[in-house]
Amino acid sequence: MMVLTARRLRADLGTWRGAGPAYAALADRIRLLTLDGRIPLGTRMPAERELAAELDLSRTTVAAAYARLRAAGYLQSTRGSGSVVAMPGRHAASGDQDSASIIALDFSRAALPAAPQVGEAASRAARELPAYLNGNGYEPLGLPRLRRALAERYTARGVPTEPAQVMVTLGAQHAISLVARTMLRRSDTALVETPSYPHAYEALKAAGRRLVPVAVDPRRGWDDDGLEQAFQRTRPALAYLMPDFHNPTGAVMPGHQRERLMASAGRAGSVVVADETMAELRIDGAAELPLAAYGPAVLIGSLGKTVWGGLRIGWIRADTETIRRLEQARYANDLGTPILEQVIALEMLGNYDELLSFRAVQLAEGRDRLETMLRDHLPSWDVPHVAGGLCTWVNIGQPVSSHLALAARGRGLLLGAGPRFGIGGVFERFLRLPFSHSVEETREAVDILAQSWRSVEPGRVPSSEFEPALV
């Protein structure tokens, strides 16, 4: 069983105090962390006395918050064993169940349904599989044919690449974690964007000592001076960035800024890791060169966003020495990517440009539809117009993102509240909204958002009562 320390919970809570009673605000934020997946089901919570000391609260306040959570079904407590995170109507031991099954619409994930070609590609790959059965099936670097195809794609994008510079992974998150474990020591610092992809934060925090944030704005992009000063001041061992259709803001780093970034990283001796999982989901405008065109950057890619999240194929593009280091480090956790999925990936790459053209049309329609609906139903919100990717970073104008997410959750809509993408509970004025859903789902989601907004907008006091979970 996972045990959550009081110090870790304090960091996850961020700025949680509101105008109402402290016990109610604390319970609400813990509930949000549970619904968000940041506190897994079955986790043992800190003892009341320990959490009270960490948060500088009375034990009575923490006890009242825990009692509130127990009454709503979010905690199961046993004398002598502590309190364990649960979901209403479920035993805490059922932590392997997906809490999203109780909601009707999941807008917390920026993802697309499978491309139409996936089924046919899987059938062709299954017919090709017997050709690989004489081998042992272990390919820690990936199938040579797939590595060659990925190298050719990077070369076509302006970064000459050899197959020896490519490793195939179990998706992008696996690649991020592997790079973090290999490139960072426990005493090292990592530079990160804020906001950013939350699971990247988790992987980097698990491997290094601390994270140094640099701001990204949906309209102005990266803080140029902030980036340079962060490199000069902290000399991070690693810098993790998403320069193309940044998640969640949708920003794209221009070429001149990429050049300056790589020069600053070079002077600081920092390894630059560019997450390119969104890079080829372009709707408008011309493509920028990958960061590796401006200097020695490690590039991470995936088919999860372009093809389908269920196809767990990612990759790392780096110099050959780095690939060798990653290969040796990989043996401690896994021995390679499944062969059948790699063959499916090869099939998909055969007509990849055609697929990307299809996705561009699909996403353009979704983006324009979401912008129009939000303008009609929530005109006070600031909705940036993005040129690609899967989501937009909406400024809702008031620091109530977590309350809004809770209100929407009670109506059957799961959202990515702003603090989920920051460090220390910031971004309460923001909400990440994907535009990858169908017309019907988007319309229903915006209707729920409008209803929920009316319950939390300025002038109204957010309800202190838990709304019943949907079943």
Q: Name all domains of the chain by residue range, CATH numbers in brackets.
A: 6-98 (1.10.10.10), 105-114+354-456 (3.90.1150.10), 118-352 (3.40.640.10)
Instruction: Show the CA angle centred on residue 312, arms to residues 310 and 313, nearest 5°.
Output: 135
Q: Tell me, what's the pLDDT at 1? A: 63
Residue whose C-alpha is closest to residue 95's, from 1, 3, 13, 173: 1
At position 205, the amino acid (one-letter code) is K
> What are 350-388's pLDDT values in tens digits?
999 999 999 999 999 999 999 999 999 999 999 999 999
Other Cβ atoms less than 10 A from the Cβ of 227: the count is: 23
CA distance 243 to 231: 17
In the predicted model, what is the mean pLDDT of residues 208-214? 92
The sheet with strand 391-395 has its strands ordered as 105-107, 413-417, 430-434, 391-395
The more confidently predicted of residues 4 and 364 is 364
Q: Tell me, what's the pLDDT at 191? A: 97
> What are 53-68's pLDDT values in tens digits?
999 999 999 999 999 9
> What are 314-359's pLDDT values in tens digits?
999 999 999 999 999 999 999 999 999 999 999 999 999 999 999 9
Torsion angle in degrees (nearest 10) through CA of 110, 115, 116, 122? -130
Task: Of 23-32, 180-189, 324-333, give the lowest mean pLDDT range.
Answer: 23-32
Other Cβ atoms less than 10 A from the Cβ of 64: the count is: 19
Cβ-proximal residues to 226 (8 Å cutoff; 6+ apart), any chain: 214, 215
